Each structure stands twice: as C-alpha cells, then as structure tokens.
Amino acid sequence: MKIGISGVRLAAALALVGALGGCATTGGNSAPSKADPFEPFNRVMYAIHEPLDTNIVRPIAQAWVDYVPTPIQSGVHTFFGNIEDGFSAFNSLLQGKWDKAGDDLGRLTVNIWGFGVIDIATQAGIPKGDEDFGQTFGYWGIPQGPYLFFPLIGPTTVRDGTGLIIRYYLGPTTYLVEDVPLRNVLYFLGALDLRVQALDASKMVDQAAIDRYTFIRRAYLQRREYLVHDGNPPRKDDDE
Amino acid sequence: MKHLFSTLRRAILPGVCALLALPALAQEAPDALVKRVSQEVLQVIKTDPKVQAGDQARIREVIETKLVQHFDFLRMTSLAMGRNWAKATPEQQKRLADEFKSLLVRTYSNALIQYRNQEIDYKALRADPNATEVNVRTEVIRPGQSAVPIDYAMTKGPSGWKAYDVVVGGVSLVTNYRDEFNEQIRQGGVDGLINSLAARNKGGGAK
C-alpha cells in the first residue's frame, strides 16, 4: 500500500515482467496457491523488498513517528487524507453508495476550514471513507486476479494494482504542482505517511508470522475482501 | 409480627437476590463478558507499573491469568488447520493447540501494548437470545486515525462463552495461519509444523 512516483512506474513495468516471469519458475519448492500463481516471482520481489524496508524505509517511518512533533505528523496525514477523501467520494459514487459519498464530500467541505491540515471533519464525527478503485472494481464483480508483490509497494493484486495505477495518474499532485522539487517532496511525504500507517501492522507481523510472505499475503487478501464487502464479507471456513 | 417480617426481609432478601444473581452470572452474555474482561485487562495494563515499563513477562502473565480461560484454543487450532486437523493424532492436536496458544498470547500481548491508551467502543450485540454462536463487535478508537474494528467470534459451551476467533480490521488471526500451516505440513508433516511453531515460540524470528 505504499505508493511513490518511481514506485508506481516501477509497478507498471514490473507487472509486465511479472506476467512474463510467472512462467519461469525460480523457486519451485512451494505448493501452488490458487490466489498466487506467480508465487516464485513474487517471492523474489519480496526478497528484494524485505531488506530495503527493514533497513531503510521502516526506520525512516519509525523515526518520523518518534521524533517529528505530533501536530506536523497529523497535519501531513490530514493533508494527504483529504486527497484520499476525494478519491473515496468518487469511488463511492461509482458504486452508487450515495451516503458514503455524502460523508466524503462533507469531510472535504468541512476540512477546507482546517486549511487542509487540521482534520475538523473527524472531530465533528463525520466517518472517514476508505473506498478506492480496487474496491470499485470488486464491487462491480471483477475478481482479484493473481496476487502480486512489488518492492516498496508491497502486496497487491492485478485488480488492486490496476486501481493503484489509475489512482496515481489521476493524483492531483501530478497536475497541480509544477515545481519539480516541491512535487518530489510531496510524493515523498505521501509515501512516508502511507508507510507510517502500516507500522502497527508490521509490528503485528513481527510477532505473529511464521513465514512473513505467506502471512502478509493471507492478511492482505482477507483485508481487501473485507473492504470490498464494506465490513461484512461472506464467512469462509473451507480450505482454499 | 411486623418487626419480625422486616427483619426477615432484611436478612433474607439479599440472600435470595444473591441466589438469583448466581445463574445470571454463570450465563453472562457474550458481549457483557467481552466488555468486562477487556476492561479488567486494560485497567491492569493502564495502572500496573511493570506493564507501563514495558515488562513483556508481566503483560503475558496478565493475559494468562485474565484472558486465556475465555478462549477455546482447541477450536482455534482446528480452524487454523482446516482439513489437516483430522490428520493429527489427539496427542499432536494437544501439542499443536499448546504451541498455537503461546504464539497467539504473544501476538495479543504485543497488540495490547499498542492499544493501551485508546478507547474501546463496544457495539450492541445483534443476535438471537438462544444463539450458541455470536459475533461480538468492538472498535478501537484512535485519535486522528480511522477506528480499528475488532470482532470476537464466540461459541457457547458448558463453561460459558468462549472466543474462537479474533478478527482485526477484517483479518482473522486464526484463519490467517491456514496457508502457513498447510505449507509447513506439506513440507514436514504435522510434526514439522509442531517443531516450527515451537522454534518460533522459543524466540526464533520469522523466516
């Protein structure tokens, strides 16, 4: 769930490589999983991702949480949260969820008075939406497709990854900010904020996982299924 | 006479009330149970100086004494194993449940440290009064961030309600292990899984 400018371009390029590389088995030791036909390729990507995240990205995110003053942290989170509220509103409309769209648009309107960096809407009790393009495709009945893992981006699927690429190309920063250094700072902060949000989940994986790759895959797929069904996924007790 | 009655009433009524209350306590509703136990645990976690200092052993002790009896670890393990559960002997099943319990207790204690300063919102239970399987819904309110829903899947047994799954933000802590368990069993059989769980619990990191 981490997006950066180079990250998403990389994703687009790697999606192609993944489609080709999926045929060539590199590991061959694992049982094929229905949801993860490209597992050998994904495991290579994960092996590249792991040390990068553990040694560079995660310590930066943790330092941000530990040393940056809270008002700055929440200001940055609110700033990028407003952009996501806009996308959530758009995706709620695409799914005909008028109430949710109303909440998201209400949040945007109210947060103008917080100059984009104070989350007045949450203080006023307007629930934060979380719709995205991947969920919209899911709501329309498009299946997840094969599971994919990319360095720095993390777990995704063909469906959700397509959503991420659309999300990136429609991102306002790309069009509104012409100053390249400033734009890069914004991309960096946006990606950092996403990684910060995932820190709790990382700690959970540290404690709980036997095999991190498999644990993250199952958790990601469960979480997305849950989001597509707005918190009421059909309960499955069978093996798959 | 009147005096005798009032004495009797004073002496007996509390006793009768207590007797009436006993079965009510034994059949504590699942949502009330979740609320009471989690508030007790959070109270200890907020006030205990050792826990405040991040003493892992003490946190685990709190969980062992206050939480563990409210979970059905055998059922949790069978759920995580899926169809492989039937392949394990009763002896293996017991060892699996013990190791899985240690793993879950450690995970849960870590989650509790993270959530110690946050409010929990207990949702009203929507279930038939005669139901034997219910889903108790709660939400951890995090200031400035979206709330984390935590659901407890519970079943009614001879010794009251017990939880057999904890679902955090849509991720079931129990079924999340199924792929890993399948993989371990495929590679090393049921004993292979027991060994890797035991190694994990002895402090070895994840692969």
Whether A25 has a pLDDT exceeding 50, the answer reads: no
Q: Which of A72, A79, A120, A207 is the mutation pick for testing B, counting most B CBs within 10 A?
A: A207
Average pLDDT of span A69-75: 90
When pLDDT is cut at 50, 70 and 90, the band that residue B204 belongs to is low
Top pLDDT among A238 and B124 is at B124
Of A25-39, A209-223, B81-95, the range with the lowest mean pLDDT is A25-39
Q: Are A51 and A151 in contact (CB under 8 A)?
A: no
In this structure, the strands spanning A154-157 and B160-168 are unpaired
Chain B's closest residue to A210, CA to CA, is B206
Q: Which residues of B touch A119 (CB under 8 A)?
A: 144
Candidates A197, A214, A227; nearest CB to B183: A214
- Rounded-to-integer distance, Cα B38 and Cα B31, Å: 11
Q: Please state whether beta strands B133-141 and B119-122 pair in parallel, antiparallel, or not at all (unpaired).
A: antiparallel
Torsion of CA A57, A59, A64, A67, to 10 degrees: -160
pLDDT for B46 equals: 82
Q: Are A176 and A149 contacting, i.e. CB atoms less than 8 angstroms apart?
A: no
Q: Which helix (H) or strand (E) holds A147?
A: strand A147-150
Among residues A116, A115, A119, which one has the least CA distance to residue A127? A119
**Among candidate residues B110, B85, B101, B100, the one with its CA nearest the CA of residue B168:** B110
- Neighboring chain B residues of A208 at a CB cutoff of 8 Å: 103, 107, 173, 176
A11-14 LR contacts (CB < 8 Å, sep 24+)? A11/A150, A11/A153, A11/A156, A11/A161, A11/A164, A11/A165, A12/A165, A14/A45, A14/A150
Average pLDDT of the residues of chain A: 84
Tokens of A13: 């390029």
Give yes or no for a contact between A197 and A203, defined as CB atoms under 8 angstroms apart: no
Predicted local distance difference test score (pLDDT) of residue A133: 96
The confidence score (pLDDT) of residue B207 equals: 54
- Report the range out of A134-138, A194-198, B114-118 with the highest average pLDDT: A134-138
Q: Does B78 touch chain A (CB under 8 A)?
A: no
Tell me B71's DSSP state. B
- B:133-152 residues touching chain A, CB 8 A cutoff: 144-146, 149
Cα A90–Cα A234–Cα B154 angle in degrees, nearest 5: 120
CB nearest A212 (choices: B111, B170, B206): B206
**Alpha carbon distance A191, B158 (integer Å):** 51
3-state helix, strand, coil in chain B (%, to 5): 60, 15, 20
A117-126, B14-23, B90-99, B145-154: which is most confident: B90-99
Residue of A119, A194, A214, A240 to mutate for B, most B C-beta atoms under 10 A: A214
In angstroms, the CA A85 to CA A103 distance is 9
pLDDT digits (tens, 9 = 90+) for A146-177: 999 999 999 999 999 999 999 999 988 877 88
pLDDT of residue A2: 41
Cα separation values, A34 from A142, A156, A240, Å: 16, 15, 7
DSSP state of A53: I
Rounded distance between C-alpha atoms, residue B120 and residue B25, angstroms: 23
Nearest CB to A218; choose among B169, B179, B186: B179
Q: How many CB atoms lie within 10 A of CB A64?
A: 18
pLDDT tens-digit profile of B28-75? 889 999 999 888 888 888 888 888 887 888 888 888 888 899 999 999
- pLDDT category at A45 given cuts 50, 70, 90 is very high
Answer whether A204 sits within 8 Å of B107, measured CB to CB. Answer: yes
- ipTM for the whole complex: 0.76
Q: Point out the residue among A74, A77, A219 whose CB comes nearest to the CB of B176.
A: A219
Contact between chains at B170 and A225 (C-beta distance less than 8 A): yes
Is A178 strand, coil or helix?
A: coil
